[in-house]
Amino acid sequence: MAVAPEITTEGIYVGGTWRPARSGETFTDFDPATRQPLAEVARGTAEDVDEAVAAARAAFGPWSRRSPSERGDLLRRWAALIREHAEELAALESQDVGKPLSAGRLNLMIATGNLEYGAGLADKVMGATLPSRSPEHTGFTWREPWGVCAAVLAWNVPAIMFCSGVAPALAVGNTIVVKPSEMAPLVTLAIARLADEAGMPPGVLNVVPGLGPEAGTALTGHPGVDHVSFVGSAATGRAVMKAAAENLVPVRLELGGKSPNVVFADADLDRAIPIIVDSICENAGQNCYAGSRLLVEAPIYDEVLQRVAEHMATLRLGPWDADLDMGPLINQAQYDRVLGYVEGAKSEGARPVTDAGAAEEAGPGWFVKPTLFDDVDASMRIAREEVFGPVLAAQRFSGLREALDLVDAVDYGLLVSVWTNDLSRALQMARDVRSGQVSINEFANSAILGLPFNVAKRSGFQHGGGYSVINELTHEKAVTIQLDPR
Ligand code: NAD
């Protein structure tokens, strides 16, 4: 598929205008299925970020004073345009990230739903009336937008991250500057074009594609920004938090994960096995919530491993437009990293149960075979670190206590999926695990509207999505009044 050059080389969207980077430079975006260049994209730098922040500041007053329903209506018009163009956008995301087309379609559907949900928050920003010790005093709170928000995003589900981040921020009256990831910026730029078409006032939404150490650092460290949100790796999250600390502004971090599927002996394996495999192979394992650990109760351990390995062996790998089960990894660095983890696991003593390594037969892209490891010890790197690839580490447990200890043995706390038909045990697990999200007899539900994308431990903090994101994207002002005693 050819990508229209104007959406990429003129990819800086600032103050309602599309233009090239001030430096005139571009960076190359690659097609993961062919390893060939896909597009040249405007390479925003500090100068572009300065202009974007200034445009967002100028737009903030008028935008925040617009009626909430007007803000919501505009976001809904934008969502309607995305729905109209969903098929082209799904293809763009699929090719740029390397995921099968049907996964791109699903992502676009979720992204649009999240945009509409965010639009619905516009007229639901409420404060509280406060009890008073004295009849002569009354008090209440207002919730007000922060001002200029900055969002620096990862590449794996770009449409979802963009829509879910931007919609609530704008709905409650903020303006925003977004830096999409340089690994897969195309769908974000195309969706932003539709915002323009929907009538987005100049400066309310600004998009500056570019590299992390250039546009990313410039934006997260910009003194004109009032709130920073970041989606990406823990290592970068640390740098972003330091930059926000310099400016003393609030920061929301959505970082990595090492999510387990915890399978008890009474689980319905016919339902569980395909979902467990999908949880680590969807997007070639490049999801923050990927089910990268398989914790199985001892009596069914061998059976589960055998069935997971058999199911993995049925997966078909190929480019996005072949629309098979799994695509390639995003780039050479990620490919080397994942293969490095596979080799490292072997040398640490883990045993691959499936055929492990590069999948050259799938095509010239960065394809890696889905891999299941047995004989994994809790101290091994594949048991503790985020691989961000289709690599699953299995460990055995006996009983609830041991399951909880294993779940908690990693730094991350994003999602825990529990498979059991014992309601009491499922709820005990849900209560006692340190995790932002828990799934019971399913994995990462996308059917629940407004499900907060919460994270715990080193997976980050602050509200991600759902209704409570209003509290994250506004600050509370307390107002008190002394009443005239006459
Ligand atoms: P990354 O940390 O390398 O990059 C994320 C973004 O930060 C990119 O836009 C990048 O350009 C920018 N960046 C890089 N260095 C920067 C710096 N010093 N200052 C400011 N910005 C900088 O992560 P990635 O490889 O793009 O994404 C993969 C990671 O994202 C994984 O760890 C994954 O788990 C995580 N992720 C988390 C969620 C979530 O919601 N929790 C969702 C998707 C991905």
- What pLDDT score was predicted for residue 7? 81
- For the chain, the C-alpha Rg in angstroms (whole number) is 23
Note whether 45 and 214 are within 8 A (CB): yes
Q: How many CB atoms lie within 10 A of CB 231?
A: 27
Residue with tokens 């009032």: 226
Q: Given this model, what pLDDT does residue 449 score?
A: 86
Would you state the pLDDT for residue 2? 54
Return the structure tokens found at 326: 């799994």
Q: Could you give the CA distance from residue 219 to residue 243 in angstroms, rounded to a whole number? A: 9
Q: Is 333 in the pocket of ligand 1 (CB under 6 A)?
A: no
Question: Does the C-beta of 184 come closer than 6 Å to ligand 1?
Answer: no
Whether the CB of 290 sits within 6 Å of ligand 1: no
> Which atom of ligand 1 is least distant from the CA of 330?
25
Q: For ligand 1, say whether the CB of 27 is within 6 Å of any of its atoms.
A: no
Query: Which of 3.40.50.720, 1.25.50.10, 3.30.70.1290, 3.40.605.10 would CATH assign to domain 12-255+461-478?
Result: 3.40.605.10
Hey, which bits of 146-212 come out as E strands?
148-152, 175-179, 205-207
Q: Which residues of 191-202 are buried (b: 16+ CB within 10 A; e: fewer)?
A: bbbbbbebebee
Ligand 1 touching residue 213 (CB < 6 A): yes
Q: Which residue has the tokens 């500056």?
A: 208
Q: Residues 265, 397: contact at Cβ < 8 Å?
A: no
Choice from 43, 160, 181 to test ligand 1 binding pocket (greatest atom count within 8 A of CB): 181
Residue 474 CA from chain centroid, whole number: 21
Q: Structure pTM?
A: 0.97
Give the burial class of 323: count Cβ atoms within 10 A of its Cβ; 0-12 exposed, 13-18 middle, 19 or more buried: middle
Q: Are 83 and 111 in contact (CB under 8 A)?
A: no
**What is the length of the chain?**
486
DSSP conformation class of 109: H
Q: Whose CA is nearest to atom 42 of ligand 1?
A: 288
Q: Tell me, in angstroms, the distance from the centre of ligand 1 to residue 404's CA.
A: 29
Record the tokens describing residue 116, joined without a space. 């509409």
HEC states along 48-93? HHHHHHHHHHHHHHHHHHCCHHHHHHHHHHHHHHHHHCHHHHHHHH
- Closest residue to atom 26 of ligand 1, CA basis: 154
The catalytic residues are 254, 288
Cα-to-centroid distance, 204 and ligand 1 (Å): 24
Phi, psi of 318 (to 5 degrees): 180, 180
What is the CA(373)–ligand 1 centre distance, in A?
A: 27
- Provide the residue-wise pLDDT of the chain in tens; the chain has 486 residues: 556 777 899 999 999 999 999 999 999 999 999 999 999 999 999 999 999 999 999 999 999 999 999 999 999 999 999 999 999 999 999 999 999 999 999 999 999 999 999 999 999 999 999 999 999 999 999 999 999 999 999 999 999 999 999 999 999 999 999 999 999 999 999 999 999 999 999 999 999 999 999 999 999 999 999 999 999 999 999 999 999 999 999 999 999 999 999 999 999 999 999 999 999 999 999 999 999 999 999 999 999 999 999 999 999 999 999 999 999 999 999 999 999 999 999 999 999 999 999 999 999 999 999 999 999 999 999 999 999 999 999 999 999 999 999 999 999 999 999 999 999 999 999 999 999 999 999 998 878 888 888 999 999 987 778 899 999 999 999 999 999 877
pLDDT of residue 1: 53
Domain ranges of the chain: 12-255+461-478, 260-449
**What's CA 402's distance to the chain center, in Å?**
30
Domain 260-449, CATH = 3.40.309.10
Which pLDDT score, from 0 to 100, does residue 407 have?
A: 98
Handedness of CA 312, 314, 318, 323 (dihedral sign): negative
